[in-house]
Amino acid sequence: MTIRGVSTDAPDPSNPVPIMTEVHTNTMTVTLTNSYKQFCQPATVEMIESLVDENYDLEAMLQFIDEHSEAEFVTHYEEYVRCGEAIGYEAVDALIEESGMNAVENCDERYRGCYQSTADFAEEYTTETYGEVPSYVVVDWEATWDSNLYYDFTACNDGGTYCPIHIFADY
């Protein structure tokens, strides 16, 4: 549900104050913090009010509803915040983008860190698990990821420049 609520029309030349009008569309965003009660389902409003009482950020909740849905808010928001606070919202958002909202459940326990590439993760994981590779052995770490580790882990790119790849175990 998207509720864009109001828009600012171009000002009348004789009146420099913008005119606020309602916009009725099929897709709207719940960005008006004072009117979410009009547009959200009763269960959603009840949950929002309960979380506001627990000091959750109202604007962040409404933004989550805008970007996802009321159903996903009711089902996943508390876990989303818990994991986001634990491992960073960039990692959680990247996982949602890659695997969907259901992947959020306990994703903080499956999080393996952020890396410049999947090859960097493959090298670190392999050396931590099996020990150092002798210096005379040449390893293609990207191929190691592609042919083996890819099946046990999910790599998500957050679009950033510093360690943009977030790795989550699939088990």
Query: What is the pLDDT of the chain when averaged over all its residues?
Result: 84
Predicted local confidence at residue 33, as pLDDT: 62
Predicted confidence (pLDDT) per residue in 41-82, tens digit: 999 999 999 999 999 999 999 999 999 999 999 999 999 999
Q: Which residue has the higher pLDDT, 136 or 33?
A: 136
Following DSSP, what letter does each residue of 134-154 receive, concatenated? PTT----HHHHHHHTGGGTEE
pTM: 0.76
Break the chain into its structural domains and give their ranges.
Answer: 1-87, 110-171
Predicted local confidence at residue 19, as pLDDT: 31
Predicted confidence (pLDDT) per residue in 81-102, tens digit: 999 999 999 999 999 999 999 9
* Residues facing residue 165 across a β-bridge: 115, 157
Q: Among 113, 123, 90, which Cα is nearest to 169's? A: 113
Long-range contacts of 32-37 (CB under 8 A, 24+ apart): 32/3, 32/5, 32/6, 33/58, 33/59, 33/62, 35/3, 35/5, 36/62, 36/65
Chain mean position to CA 110? 16
